[in-house]
Structure formats: C-alpha cells, structure tokens
C-alpha cells in the first residue's frame, strides 16, 4: 500500500459543500459520515443543475432548434466525461440509467432473458448488496437458472480458493461487487475476472462503492459489464451508468420500449436504435447526467489517487479511535484491504440505538443491514453501524465519532 499523502487538506474543499456547514439539533455542527449511502454535492454541481434549468434546458436528440442542440451537446459531453473517467473504449459503451440498481436490472433482462436457460448457473458472493442479488433471483424464477455463492471467510474477504470449484462449465455470469458496502473489502477483480473468462463466463461488476473512491479502468479490469451510481460520487440522484462491451450490448435486447430507443416502428414490429439510444428509452435524465459530468470534473481536479489516500488515513484513524472506545467490534478486514467504510457493532447496544445516540452529537452514520441481509446472517448479527468517509471528512470528525460512541455507551450503561 502506498504511503498516504499527509499533505491533503479536506478543509480546502469543505467550503464548496454548503450542507457541511449545517447546524443540527440546535447549534450542533453536522458530521456527515454516511457517504456510502450517498455523498453530498458541491456548489459546482448544484450550479450546473441550476444553469441547465435556467438557461439551457430542452429535450435532447429530437429537436431541430438551437436550445435542443445546446442541451444535446451538453448531454453527450457528459457521456464523454464518464467514458474518460472509467476509460471505456467507446463513448456509446456508456449507457445512462437511473442508478446501479437499474443498470444491473438492465443486464438481467436485456442479456439474461435472452442468453440464460434452465440449468445455467450464475455465481454471486455472500457480500453482495441486494441490488446484485435480487435481479438474478428474479431471473432464476423466469429462466430456471441456478444461483451459486462464493462464501465469506471470517476475516471479511471472499474464499477465493474455492473459485475454481464454483465456476463450472455451466457458469454463464459472475456478478460481484468491487467493494463491499458493509465491510469495505476490496475484492481482487482481476483474479475473479480472469478465472471467469477462462471458463467462458461473463463478469458484471457492481462498482457503486468503487468508482467514487479511486481510479477505475474498465479495460484493465477486463470486465464485461460495470454498474455505478452518480449520487455516490457528488452527482445528482436518479442518474447511473451501465458500461458494457460494445459487442455484448449489440447482442442484447432492449430493456424498455418506447421513444428514442427505436430506429423505426411499424404496426407489426420495430427496429432498435443504435447504441447507446437502444437502452435509453423515453426522455433520459438530461440534467442529472450533466450534473454527473460536472461531478466528474470536480473529482478529477482533486485527483482520485489523492482521494483514495486520504480515505485510507481516515480509516486507519477510525480503527484506532474505535479500538480506544472499547467494546466495539470492527467488521471486515484490516485497513490495508478495505476502502473508506468502517462497520462495527457496539457490545450490548443495537445498531439503531447507536446511530440515534450518535445523531444527538450531530454525527450521521448508518444503521441496519445496509441492504445486505445475507451478509449479516453470515456474520451472525441482525444489524451493524456504519461510518463511511469521503475526501471532505476530517480527522477531527472521526474523533467526534469516537466521543459520540463513548457517550452512547454511557447512556446505555454499557461497561467497557
């Protein structure tokens, strides 16, 4: 792991985020540590949305007037921003969706309904978010395929020594998260993808917790499909991306039917449009996509390597702080194997109580199963608390989390 850049100053960027100056519950400063659920937005992104609605908005691709031309150009520029950010080979390999969930469902229907048959196998992992489990379970109900799972080791990492046994000649797809949204575990994608492709299986990567936090090159990964969301990387809600290799997207059926996704329609049938319009039926999320483009510009100005290193410092400090609190079990692997997520259980206190008591101190964390019930069952717990960081978080905020937890234990009369 590279030495962290201790010169990174999150205060340089915090002033760009109006909400970070919010006072909650009277005059308590907000400490926002729920970034794995959704990040906040800088003024630059907010202003891009305002500017579009006030000065440049029109529907895209359909009009022949000046305003439509302006809106279309900005919309496609945003697609180009995404292409460059994830290093896709072609701009039309970037499909705008409403989020990661929508992108995964697009593949489950557009590819799965066409190419998956009874007896075929799809390999998932125990640590997946529900959005990367349920669509495949629904596909299994429709097509009769079998779902298999890579188990989880006690250290919070996948038991990849069993990968070659689980990937068989029946495996058609391996769908895996790049980073666990609960444990923060960074999965070795290159190893998983290589083993999958060697067996003739395709690979879908849920990159919702990966793309916002470090440099991503989908071509180096060798992934067939990659899905992620804008709202987890400073962008608006309601916008996400499906990256797919051109050959695969060409072979897939459209997920939604309607306007824009057609080349021509007759009374007895239709012909699909070319990529990417084929998968962008109806009026697309125009302004949200442009806001995502602005978010990418902002992130690139900071540098994804700098963001990654700062988060590593925060996670290291968080581990140290929670260990000093005492009576706290940190879930998942060590700092060297995780990203900016620290989930934990406070002995004798339910996760929801922990989160509510932290909120008294203005500290916003997550509590519950985090849309990962099978993972929590594997861990033998019903709920956990989760602090998740981004580049605008500070060491002082991590200290405030520790103070809030100490007070939570006092209120609940839990002994260290």
Query: Which is nearest to 40 in space by CA: 12, 21, 17?
Result: 17
Q: CA gyration radius for the chain? A: 22
145 given a catalytic annotation: no
Q: Given phi > 0 = left and psi -120 to 50 = alpha, else beta, which region is 351?
A: alpha
406 alpha-carbon distance from chain centroid: 31
Contact 326, 416 (CB under 8 A): yes
121 Cβ contact list (under 8 Å, min separation 6)? 145, 146, 147, 148, 168, 170, 171, 172
Bridge partners of 186, per DSSP, are: 179
Query: Is residue 374 classed as helix, strand or coil in its secondary structure?
Result: helix
Residue with tokens 């520790």: 402
Which position has the token pair 């590819």? Answer: 111
Give the closest residue to 72 by CA, choosing from 287, 329, 228: 287
Q: Please, which residues bridge with residue 364 across strands?
A: 32
Q: Residues 71, 73, 75, 81: what is their CA dihedral angle, to the nearest 10 degrees? A: -150
Q: Are 329 and 345 in contact (CB under 8 A)?
A: yes
| DSSP-assigned letters across all residues of 324-365 | HH-SEEEPSS-GGGB-SEEEEEETTS-HHHHHHHHHTTTEE-
Nearest CA among 392, 280, 407, 287 for reference residue 34 = 392
Q: What are phi and psi of 122, to 5 degrees?
A: -120, 130
Q: Which two tokens mark 37?
A: 């659920």
C-alpha to C-alpha distance for 64 and 12, rounded to whole angstroms: 43
Annotated active-site residue in 215, 371, 383, 414: 371
Dihedral (CA of 405, 407, 412, 416) sign: positive
Q: Catalytic residues, which ones?
A: 371
């Amino acid at each position: 792991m590279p030495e962290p850049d201790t010169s990174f100053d999150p205060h340089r960027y915090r002033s760009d985020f109006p909400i970070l100056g919010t006072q909650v519950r009277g005059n308590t400063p907000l400490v926002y540590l729920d970034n794995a659920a959704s990040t906040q937005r800088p003024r630059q992104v907010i202003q891009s949305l305002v500017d579009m609605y006030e000065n440049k908005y029109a529907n895209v691709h359909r009009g022949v007037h000046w305003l439509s031309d302006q809106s279309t150009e900005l919309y496609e520029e945003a697609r180009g921003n995404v292409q460059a950010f994830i290093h896709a080979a072609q701009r039309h390999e970037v499909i705008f969706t409403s989020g990661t969930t929508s992108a995964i469902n697009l593949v489950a229907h557009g590819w799965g309904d066409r190419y998956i048959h009874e007896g075929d196998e799809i390999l998932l992992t125990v640590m997946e978010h529900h959005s990367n489990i349920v669509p495949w379970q629904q596909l299994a109900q429709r097509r009769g395929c079998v779902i298999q799972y890579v188990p989880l080791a006690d250290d919070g990492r996948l038991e990849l020594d069993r990968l070659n046994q689980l990937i068989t000649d029946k495996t058609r797809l391996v769908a895996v998260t790049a980073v666990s949204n609960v444990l923060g575990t960074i999965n070795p994608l290159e190893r998983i993808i290589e083993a999958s492709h060697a067996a003739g299986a395709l690979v879908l990567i849920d990159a919702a917790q990966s793309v916002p936090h470090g440099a991503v090159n989908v071509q180096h990964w060798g992934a067939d499909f990659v899905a992620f969301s804008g709202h987890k990387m400073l962008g608006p809600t309601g916008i996400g991306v499906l990256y797919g290799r051109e050959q695969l997207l060409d072979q897939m059926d459209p997920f939604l039917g309607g306007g824009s996704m057609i080349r021509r329609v007759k009374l007895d049938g239709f012909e699909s449009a070319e990529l990417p319009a084929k998968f962008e039926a109806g009026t697309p999320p125009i302004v949200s996509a442009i806001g995502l483009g602005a978010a990418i510009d902002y992130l690139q100005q900071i540098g994804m390597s700098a963001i990654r290193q700062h988060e590593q410092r925060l996670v290291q400090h968080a581990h140290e702080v929670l260990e000093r609190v005492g009576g706290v079990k940190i879930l998942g692997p060590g700092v060297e194997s995780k990203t900016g997520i620290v989930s934990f259980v406070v002995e004798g206190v339910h996760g929801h109580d922990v989160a509510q008591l932290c909120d008294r101190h203005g500290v916003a964390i997550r509590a519950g199963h985090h849309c990962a019930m099978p993972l929590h069952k594997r861990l033998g717990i019903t709920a956990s608390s989760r602090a998740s960081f981004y580049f605008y978080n500070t060491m002082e905020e991590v200290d405030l989390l520790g103070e809030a937890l100490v007070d939570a234990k006092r209120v609940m009369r839990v002994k260290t």
